[in-house]
Structure 1
Amino acid sequence: MGIVVQDMATSLAFYRRLGFDLPAKADGEPHVEYELAGGLKVAWDTVATVESFTPGYHRPKESGIGLAFECDSPAEVDNSYDTLVAAGAVGERKPWDAFWGMRYASLLDPDGYGIDLFANLSG
Structure 2
Amino acid sequence: MTPRLDLVGTAVADMARTLDFYRRLGLDIPAEADSEQHVEVTLPGGVRLAWDTVEMVRTFHPGWTAPTGSPRVNLAFRCADPAEVDRYWAELTGAGFHGELPPWDAFWGQRYAVLHDPDGTGVDLYAPLGG
TM-score range, shorter chain: over 0.9
* TM-fit CA distance, 1:46: 0.1
* TM-fit CA distance, 1:104: 0.5
Can you give the 5+ residue segments of structure 2 that lack an aligned partner in the other structure?
A: 1-7
Structure 2 match to 1:21: 28
Paired with 1:114 and 1:24, the residues of 2 have a C-alpha distance of 23
* TM-fit CA distance, 1:38: 1.7
Matched residue of 2:92: which SS?
Answer: helix
Structure 2 match to 1:96: 104
1:108 aligned residue (99, 116, 119):
116
Q: After superposition, what is the alpha-carbon deviation per residue over 1:58-83, rounded to whole angstroms, capped at 9, x for unaligned?
A: 12214401111000010000000010
Check if 1:40 corresponds to 2:47: yes
* TM-fit CA distance, 1:31: 0.3
Q: After superposition, what is the alpha-carbon deviation per residue over 1:31-67, rounded to whole angstroms, capped at 9, x for unaligned?
A: 0010012210111000000001111211221440111
Higher helix share: 1
Matched residue of 2:39: which SS?
Answer: strand
- How many residue pairs were aligned? 123
**Stretch moving more, 105-114 or 59-68:** 59-68
Paired with 1:60 and 1:43, the residues of 2 have a C-alpha distance of 18
Matched residue of 1:37: which SS?
Answer: coil
Paired with 2:117 and 2:40, the residues of 1 have a C-alpha distance of 17
- Using the size of structure 2 for normalisation, the TM-score is 0.91
Paired with 1:36 and 1:107, the residues of 2 have a C-alpha distance of 20
- Using the size of structure 1 for normalisation, the TM-score is 0.96
Report the AA paired with residue 10 of structure 1: R
The percent of aligned pairs where both chains have the same amino acid is 56
Matched residue of 2:68: which SS?
Answer: coil
Matched residue of 1:27: which SS?
Answer: helix
* TM-fit CA distance, 1:114: 0.6
2:90 aligned residue (82, 89, 98):
82
Matched residue of 1:2: which SS?
Answer: strand
TM superposition outliers: structure 1 runs of 4+ over 2 Å = none
